[in-house]
Amino acid sequence: MPDFLYPYVVIGLLLSVVWWFYRVYRDPQNSTILPTLSFWGATVVYASVLYFTKFSVLYKLLLMLPRDFIAVVVVGLLANNLKSTRGYFITAVGVGVGGYFLYSNFIPQATQKYFGNNLPFMQEDTRRNRLAPNGELLFDIKNPAQLALIEAAVKPLGGQIRQAFSDIKHLDYSDLEEYYVLDIPENTDLEKVIKTLEATGAIDWVEQNEVISLSPLESNAQTARPNRKDYGINDPHLGKMWAFEAMNVSEYYNYLKTNGLKPQKKAKIAILDTGVDSEHEDIKGNYKSTKKKYDRDKQSHGTHCAGIASAVSNNGLGIASLNMNGEFTEITSIKVLSDQGWGTQDQIIQGIIEAADNGADVISMSLGGPSTDAGQRAYEEAIRYANQAGAIVVVAAGNSNENAIHHSPANCKGVITVSAIDQNLARADFSNFVNDVAMGIAAPGVEIFSTIPKNQYAAYSGTSMATPYTAGILGVMKAFKPALTTQEAYKILTKTGVDTKDTPKTGKLINPFQAIKSLQ
Which pLDDT does position 77 carry in this prediction?
Answer: 84
Which pLDDT does position 98 carry in this prediction?
Answer: 78
Whole-prediction pTM value? 0.77
**Residue 411 and residue 405 in contact, taking contact as beta carbons nearer than 8 Å:** yes
Which pLDDT does position 221 carry in this prediction?
Answer: 53
Q: Phi first, then psi: what are they for 450, rounded to 5°?
A: -155, -175
Q: Phi first, then psi: what are they for 455, rounded to 5°?
A: 60, 30
**Residue 181 and residue 345 in contact, taking contact as beta carbons nearer than 8 Å:** no
Which pLDDT does position 61 carry in this prediction?
Answer: 78
> Topology of domain 137-209, per CATH?
Alpha-Beta Plaits (3.30.70)
Beta bridge partners of 210: 131
**Residue 139 and residue 42 in contact, taking contact as beta carbons nearer than 8 Å:** no
How would you label 468-492 residue by residue, b for 16+ Cβ within 10 Å and e otherwise? Answer: bbbbbbbbbbbbbbeebebeebbeb
Give the whole-angstrom CA distance, residue 7 versus residue 98. Answer: 11
Residue 32 to residues 12, 29, 36, 153, 513, Cα–Cα distance (Å): 19, 9, 8, 49, 76
- Sequence letter at residue 218: E
**Span(s) in the chain for CATH 3.40.50.200:** 217-517
The residues annotated with a catalytic role in the active site are: 273, 301, 464
Q: Phi first, then psi: what are they for 162, rounded to 5°?
A: -145, 155
Closest by CA to 332, choosing from 381, 270, 281, is: 270
Class of domain 217-517: alpha beta
Give the whole-angstrom CA distance, residue 302 versus residue 305. Answer: 5
Which pLDDT does position 90 carry in this prediction?
Answer: 83
Which pLDDT does position 59 carry in this prediction?
Answer: 63
**Residue 249 and residue 319 in contact, taking contact as beta carbons nearer than 8 Å:** no
Task: State the DSSP string of 210-275.
Answer: BEEE---EEPPPPPP-PPPGGG----GGGGG-HHHHHTTHHHHHHHHHHHT---SS-EEEEEEES-
For residue 226, is the peptide bond before it cis, meaning its omega torsion is within 30 degrees of 0? no
Residue 53 to residues 43, 65, 107, 365, 480, Cα–Cα distance (Å): 16, 12, 16, 26, 48
Give the whole-angstrom CA distance, residue 315 versus residue 312. Answer: 7
Cα dihedral value 223, 226, 230, 236, nearest 10: 70
Look at the alpha carbons of 240, 244, 249, 250 in this order and tell me if their dihedral is positive or negative: positive
Which pLDDT does position 124 carry in this prediction?
Answer: 34
Which pLDDT does position 54 carry in this prediction?
Answer: 58
How would you label 348-360 residue by residue, b for 16+ Cβ within 10 Å and e otherwise? Answer: bbbbbbbbbbbeb
**Span(s) in the chain for CATH 3.30.70:** 137-209
* Residues in the chain with pLDDT values less than 70: 1-4, 25-27, 29-31, 53-59, 101-129, 215-229, 372-375
Which residues, including other chains, have CB under 8 Å from residue 151's CB and lie 6 or more apart?
161
Which residues, including other chains, have CB under 8 Å from residue 192's CB and lie 6 or more apart?
157
Give the whole-angstrom CA distance, residue 59 versus residue 105. Answer: 18
Give the whole-angstrom CA distance, residue 65 versus residue 188. Answer: 30
- 90 by DSSP, 3-state: which? helix
Task: State the DSSP string of 149-175.
Answer: HHHHHHGGGT-EEEES----S-GGG-S
Closest by CA to 409, choosing from 379, 372, 445, 442, is: 379
Closest by CA to 465, choosing from 422, 436, 401, is: 422
